[in-house]
Amino acid sequence: MSKIDVEIVEVGPRDGLQNLDVVMPTADKCRWIAAEHAAGVREIEVGSFVPPKLLPQMADTGEVVAFARTLPNLRIATLAPNLRGALDAIKGGTHKIGVPISVSPEHSLSNVRKTPMQMVEELAKICKARDESGAAVEIEGALSTAFGCTMAGAVPEDDVLRIAEACLRAGIDSLALADTVGYANPAQVRSLFERVRGIAGDKLTSGHFHDTRGLGLANVMAALETGIRSFDATLGGLGGCPFAPGATGNVSTEDLVFMLESMGLRTGIDLAKLIETRKILEQALPGRPLYGSIARAGLPKGFRQAA
């Protein structure tokens, strides 16, 4: 496989499904993950370790992780909002655990019933438990609502930097900035990534953008300009946060791959195979809207992926 310029992390099986009022069968989740792996996706967030009563859509995450481990060269990511979930993730064989830290106190209390700093304390416990286990598991601090919150409105950049510094002290391996509710604009993205880079350096690795207001790809471009080379996306633009009113629609994986490949940036993902994978979602989620422009319009005549 040729060298990758930009990594695309498929987060649909977690972020794409958690907000739906239906539960996708485990077999269909596994078909989806296998198809994206066959298309060249090499990191997939397959679920979250949370109480089933809170998110029944994620009740089978352990089973899905076990299946994903049978796929060669696939990096398996999961989300865990607390120590118990992280221990389950480590035991199950997850390669990367994302721990959500909402910068907005209102969102944090709604999402995990803890303040941001209480979540940082939980994050420190998770890092310590990982170290004591000897497991080679990456711990990522995912700063949610970093660009705004539907409950609180504007989120000051200084608050993001304060939480980022606390996460670094807690022992994380990497840091991601997330536009959880689709409030960000490109100028804001550029400013915040540059400021956080100043304190986190190379540990600031990833961007997570929602297309709620149509600026998802523009915000990816702004983050690219600051040196970010890893981005989350969901097939069909599914997703959103169930605890944040109005937060729907992640950046479409297909549209993101198309944009990057059109620019000559290699993703290692076969776009035609990726678009074909949408059929699995159409069958497994009948009547549910799928988003994204390239699947509707088709590839331009003469389009060639980056060599």
Q: Write out the catalytic residue numbers.
A: 241
Tally Cβ neighbours within 10 Å of residue 182.
Answer: 25
Dihedral Cα 266, 272, 277, 278, nearest 10 deg:
100
Q: Kindly give, in sequence order, each residue whose CB lies less than 8 Å from that of residue 39, ignoring residues fewer than 6 positions away.
A: 269, 270, 273, 274, 276, 277
Q: CB of 148 within 8 A of CB of 155?
A: yes
Supply 199's token pair: 């304190």
Q: Which helix (H) or strand (E) holds 221?
A: helix 216-225
**Chain Cα centroid distance, residue 259:** 18
Place of tokens 């209390």: 109
* 108 Cβ contact list (under 8 Å, min separation 6): 101, 102, 114, 115, 116, 119, 144
The whole-angstrom separation of Cα 17 and Cα 22 is: 8
Say if residues 221 and 185 touch (Cβ distance below 8 Å).
Answer: no
